[in-house]
Structure 1
Amino acid sequence: MKLLQFYHLKDDHQQLKVGILDNHDTIKALTISGTAREFITQFAGTNQAEIEALTEGAPVYNLNEVKLLSPLTDPEKIICIGLNYHDHVIESNMQVPKVPVLFPKFNNCLNSHNDKVVIPQEVSQCDYEVELAVVIGKTAKKVSKDSAMDYVFGYTVLNDVSARDIQLNEPQWTRGKAIDGFAPMGPWIVTKDEIPNPGNLPISLTLNGEIMQNSNTKELIFDIPHLISFLSNTITLQPGDIISTGTPPGVGMGKKPQVWLQPGDIVEATVEGIGTLRSTFVSEQ
């Protein structure tokens, strides 16, 4: 199942709707009120037939007549993992971490598929980072690695856009990572039943059509069960929480010469089995 949030382009009020991608270009709306996070809280673990029943009597939309939103707009937590691919650690000139490196993003960072990312005037070293993001399906507290995957609802794609000139010149990373719109996510959430092995997914990113990152999630230093267990030992994870698992090598900072995003650049971040997240970068007016 592919869960998404959208509004109908003819809706002047831009009312958020939650739906299921029925095929490549048809969306079945759900007859529920609230957000995708609220749907996950109520219906995670519900079987396909019961979910299909939630679409009865609801409108059906074509993809070309809706605006896709971030598939989650109100998560309680967005927890990002830094330095989680060996080759990315090397290109960053840092040491392989002994425990996961964490930093937060917030709801102000969330951005949509096919939307604009605004580069602030203060930022001259804007970078891209394709990542596999995990969406939590039920409350997790002190869970073991063996049971960790029971708490996963599904997966999506996140671009951990970063202002390197802020991130690497301040004592901590948050201000350079949590800029408005610097977490494009989507296009939708794919439920875990459709991704039987998230630890072996091709992951890539192109900049204006040129491949910049090309790896596989099997190269993660800390895999998804480890991350969920590690985090839940001290942080209660709630339905709709996002864990972004880190980026592979090939970021602009690691290129020779370095590559920084410019106004007009188009970035496409892809994880096999989920889809492609597209963003256009623009300058702050």
Structure 2
Amino acid sequence: MKMIGIRDSATGVTQVARVVEDRAIVLADKAAFWSDPQGHLDRSAAADPAHGRPMSDVTEVPLVPDTARVLCIGLNYHAHANEGGFTVPQYPTIFGRWTASLSVGGVAVPVPANEAGLDWEGEIAAYVGAPLTDVDPDTARSAVLGYSTFNDLTARKAQKLTAQWTLGKNGDKSGPMGPLVTADEVGDLRDGLRLQTRVNGVTVQDGNTKSMIFDIGEVLSLVSQTMTLHPGDVVATGTPEGVGYVREPAWLLNDGDVVEVEVDRLGVLRTPIGGSR
């Protein structure tokens, strides 16, 4: 199944909808959906597309709940750690995004002040579908509701001001996400999904999830030892090699550029760069 968030034009409430063919079938408002995500998916199995709204009539927004923790994994592909001059970490490098930084495909992302541009980081995001407290990797892996394309667009100057990466990873609208595709249709990331990033049609990243250092089960298990994870929490699983700032000369995104992240079984996430904050 493919799921998106849509904003009700009359009330401003965000709803979660299932996409069937070219129509969006509303399942519940965002808070209600994440209180029982699997139950809503099970009840939607027989949804009639005739009851949905044309995709052309809906405004898509992130379906992540406002209370979600969005955890991002840095340096999670061997070649990406190497290209930045980092030693492969013993444990996953985890930093946070606020939900306010999230957006969806097609939304223009502004370049922050004092930055030479934004850097691309094509990724896969995993959505937690059940509470997790001190669980083993297999249990954690089985609790993933689904996955989406993600672009961890980064303000490198702000990121490198201090040892903490938070500022450079939370620019306005800098976390575009594609639709959620349920885990049963995606499969196990350890089996390998191809991930490509293109800038103005030029391929700049071409990786495979087989090259991840820490798989999603290991990451969720580790996090759950310290804090309970809840339905709707998100883990962005890291980016492969090919980012812009390590190139000679550096290649960064600016107004007018278009960046696309394409992942097997998840589709293409297209993001224009530019506009106001």
* Global fold match (TM > 0.5): yes
Deviation by residue 1:101-148 (Cα, 9 ceiling, x = unmatched)? 011000111011111111112222410101111100011010001222
* Compared CA separation, residues 163 and 47, structure 1 to 2 (3 A): closer
1:160 Cα deviation after fit: 0.5
Give the counterpart of 1:217 among 209, 221, 226: 209
Q: Does 1:176 align with 2:156?
A: no
Q: Is the 8 A contact 2:33 2:40 kept in 1?
A: no
Counterpart residue number, 1:235? 227
Instruction: Say whether 1:191 aligns with 2:182.
Output: yes
Relative distance call for 1:59 and 1:247 in structure 2 (3 A) is: same
Q: In structure 2, how many angstroms separate the alpha carbons of the residues matched to 1:3 and 1:79?
A: 21
Asked whether 1:27 is paired with 2:19, we answer no
Task: Tell me the distance in 1 between the aligned counterparts of 2:149 and 2:14.
Answer: 20
Deviation of 1:59 (Å): 4.1
Is it true that 1:107 corresponds to 2:105 in the alignment? no
One-letter code aligned to 1:6: I
Q: 1:47 to 1:259 in 2, by over 3 A?
A: closer
Name the amino acid aligned to 2:142.
D
- Partners in 1 of 2:188 and 2:232 — Cα distance? 20
User: How far did 1:162 drift?
Assistant: 0.6
Distance 2:65 2:244 in 1: 28
1:41–1:138 CA contact under 8 A, matched in 2: no
**1:27 alignment partner AA:** A
Q: Does the CA contact (< 8 Å) of 1:137 and 1:151 recur in 2?
A: yes
- Tell me how far apart the structure 2 counterparts of residues 257 and 230 of structure 1 sit (CA, whole Å): 38
Q: TM-score, normalised by structure 1?
A: 0.90
Match of 1:6 in 2: 6
Q: CA RMSD in A?
A: 2.0
2:37 is aligned with 1:43 = yes
Q: Secondary structure at the match of 2:18?
A: strand
SS state at 1:79 partner:
strand
Distance 1:137 1:204 in 2: 26
State the match for 1:202 in structure 2: 194
- State how far apart, in whole Å, the 2-side matches of 1:57 and 1:157 are: 24
Match of 2:149 in 1: 157
Change (3 A) 1:75 1:134: farther
Amino acid across the alignment from 1:17: Q
* Residue identity in the other structure for 1:16: T
CA distance in 2, matches of 1:260, 1:168: 15
Report deviation, 1:41.
2.5
Structure 2 CA distance for aligned equivalents of residues 144 and 238 of structure 1: 16
Equivalent AA in structure 2 for residue 190 of structure 1: V
- Aligned partners of 1:268 and 1:278 also within 8 Å: yes
TM-score w.r.t. length of structure 2:
0.93
Q: 1:70-103 CA deviation, whole Å, 9 max, x = no partner?
A: 2325242000000000110111111111100011
Separation (CA, whole Å) in 2 of partners of 1:58 and 1:26: 8
Tell me, in whole angstroms, the C-alpha distance in 2 between the residues paired with 1:57 and 1:261. 39
Q: Compared with structure 1, are the counterparts of its residues 283 and 67 closer, same or farther at alpha carbon in structure 2 (3 Å cutoff)?
A: closer
In 1, the alpha carbon distance for the partners of 2:11 and 2:113 equals: 31
Query: Are the aligned partners of 2:111 and 2:117 in contact in 1 as well (CA < 8 Å)?
Result: no
Q: Tell me, in whole angstroms, the C-alpha distance in 1 between the residues paired with 2:237 and 2:32.
A: 23
- Going from structure 1 to structure 2, the CA distance change for 1:91 and 1:125 (only over 3 Å counts) comes to farther
- The answer on whether the counterparts of 1:75 and 1:242 sit within 8 Å (CA) in structure 2 is no
Code of the residue aligned with 2:184 in structure 1: it is: D
C-alpha contact 2:147 2:183 (8 A) present in aligned 1: yes
Aligned residue for 2:68, secondary structure, equals coil
What secondary structure, in the 3-state scheme, does the structure 1 residue paired with 2:255 have? coil
Unpaired runs of at least 5, structure 2: none
User: Matches of residues 1-150 of structure 1 in structure 2 within 5 Å?
Assistant: 1-7=1-7, 11=9, 14-23=12-21, 25-30=22-27, 32=28, 34-35=29-30, 38-44=32-38, 48=42, 50-52=43-45, 55=47, 59-150=51-142
- The alpha-carbon deviation at position 13 of structure 1 amounts to 5.3
Contact 1:73 1:110 (8 Å CA) reproduced? no
